Structure 1
Amino acid sequence: MNDMLHLVEPVIPALRRYARALVRNRATADDLVQDCLERAVRHWHARREGDPRPWLFTILHNLAVNQFRRSARRGKHIAIDEANEDDFGQDAVQEQKLIYQDVLDKLARLPEDQRAVLLLVAVEDLSYADTARVLDIPIGTVMSRLSRAREKLQQEIEGTADGAPKNVVQLRSMK
């Protein structure tokens, strides 16, 4: 127990700084650090030998991510005494759904090889190297396909995919 205290105590200020940077609330950050330390004490036997600092930061980070996910599912907490009518209303989501569907339609127009690279890198957050392994292509090919896919998708969204803006009428000159 003494060695644990000796190893963990100097890390606590850094954990608090990191927690405050993550959650931007002093009380919540302190609660997060306390939960982290509680979990570290409970699982001290399961840690790897050596510097416990990375292990403690991993615990803290994972607790923060779990807290963010929980709060995203639950929504914003407002005390009933502090609430007004605007806090209970929600904006209509039809426009966002239309925009979302429009982007999906434009994404479907991309060539299959470009679409696959764009989805793996941008949506699935794979690295270029991992994407290259998944698709069994060189990393340079991943980068060029991604560049072309992003450019083509941007043109589709802006309405300039065929070279001219879609919302501009071309006039003929009369002599």
Structure 2
Amino acid sequence: MVSDQAFRAELGQHLARLWRYGLLLSRNRHVAEDLVQATCVRALERAGQYVAGTRMDRWLLSILHSIWLNEVRARRVRQGAGQVFADGQLAFDGEYAAQTHVMAAQVIRRVDALPETQRETVYLAYVEGLSYREVAEILQVPIGTVMSRLATARLKLAEYPPLQAVPKTTGGDRP
């Protein structure tokens, strides 16, 4: 069994990941914060169930996902929830960073347009770098479903035109 102090220290190391996943699911900063708080509370309540030496991040992401499904969806918090706009999330400095910002914003918008099940699967597999098996455990679906969702998401993303490093101008005089 892990000591309470060690458990809390390791839990604290995963807060940013939990918040990002909560934001991806809810599309609302305040709801994401509530999800992380509820996840931490539940994890602390169930600290005795955590097996030392296993990946706490998987366990915590699974708890957060379960809370989202059971509580947030049941109360229909997602209906009408505000969106986080990609352009406001990235700061940049210089031409290279500006081009990176434009392209990153385009990718975020494209992934954001995917259905929720594909979006969260893409996030866990490609952003968090989890294995298909780990994603399946967190989402509580068969591994074949994870593979299917990722394949479908890749096909949908491939339908978009190539990313534009510099936005096209319509011409005309600049002020």
Q: TM-score range by the shorter chain?
A: 0.3 to 0.5
TM-score by length of 2: 0.41
Q: Answer 1 or 2: higher relative contact order, Cα 8 Å, separation at least 6.
A: 2
**Bigger helix fraction:** 1
Q: Bigger radius of gyration, 1 or 2?
A: 1
